[in-house]
Amino acid sequence: MNSQKTSEHALHRAPTVRPGNLREYERSLDGEGLAIGVVMSRFSQDIGEGLLSACTSELKRLGVAESRIALATVPGALEIPLALQSMARSGRFDALIALGAVIRGETYHFEVVANDSCRGVMDVQLAVGVPVANGILTCEDDDQALARMHQKGSDCARVAVEMARLLQAFGEHS
């Protein structure tokens, strides 16, 4: 590993000791050896594909091997939590990522889908103990989603790697 990558992706060795013996776990974005599961909604497919492209590019940049990234697609945002839950329970993944888009329409359905898909994603990670980066965009229109998809996809990759490493560090130093 070169020195730039080493500093950027510092491994969790031991918590830093701060004044007053406060222990701080250092952030790590080293994806080497991690297995990441991604669930993507096929509804608003162009936006989902943009999220996925940015996400997988960033995962690879962080050192996650392409062969260690698994993708499952589902019909819509409401189906994402069940697929995540199954992946989380399999024990094969260090972290998961939810990708999709909920675009406001003319009815209350937007609020139902946005709220319930988000709650479902949160419930999975809390119930199973596998971190889930939530990349389900909730936007007023397609233009907002298109403007946000690349940044959000990249952000989710970093969140997944960082949280996987943080949970590993908790196990190593408990």
Annotated catalytic residue: which of 9, 109, 150, 173?
109
> What distance in Å separates the CA atoms of residue 169 and residue 157, rounded to the nearest whole number?
19
Burial class of residue 137 in the structure, from the number of CB atoms within 10 Å of its CB (0-12 exposed, 13-18 middle, 19+ buried): buried
Q: Which two tokens stand for residue 27?
A: 């952030």
Q: Is 109 a catalytic residue?
A: yes
Tell which residue, 166, 172, 99, 76, has the closest CA to residue 130.
166
Tell which residue, 137, 131, 123, 129, has the closest CA to residue 157.
131
Q: Cite the active site residues.
A: 109
